[in-house]
């Protein structure tokens, strides 16, 4: 989780998105998939 360049789940961003934990996890998962796909093209 901490390896993600955009860690919206960590403070202080997770305090802003209280109640949206599932959305946060989904966003991180999507970002990770997009990054992996971009690197896989190279």
- Supply the pTM of this predicted model: 0.31
pLDDT digits (tens, 9 = 90+) for 1-42: 444 445 555 555 545 555 555 565 666 677 777 777 777 665
- The count of residues in the chain is 42
Given a contact cutoff of 8 angstroms between Cβ atoms, the answer to whether 25 and 19 are in contact is no
How many whole angstroms separate alpha carbon 19 and alpha carbon 37? 29
In sequence order, the 6+-apart residues with CB closer than 8 A to the CB of 34 are none
> For 5-41, what is the HEC assignment?
CCCCCCCCHHHHCCCCHHHHHHHHHHHHHHHHHHHHH
């Amino acid at each position: 989780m901490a390896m993600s360049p955009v860690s919206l789940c960590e403070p202080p961003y997770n305090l802003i998105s209280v109640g949206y934990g599932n959305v946060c996890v989904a966003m991180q998962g999507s970002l990770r998939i997009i990054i992996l796909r971009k690197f896989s093209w190279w």
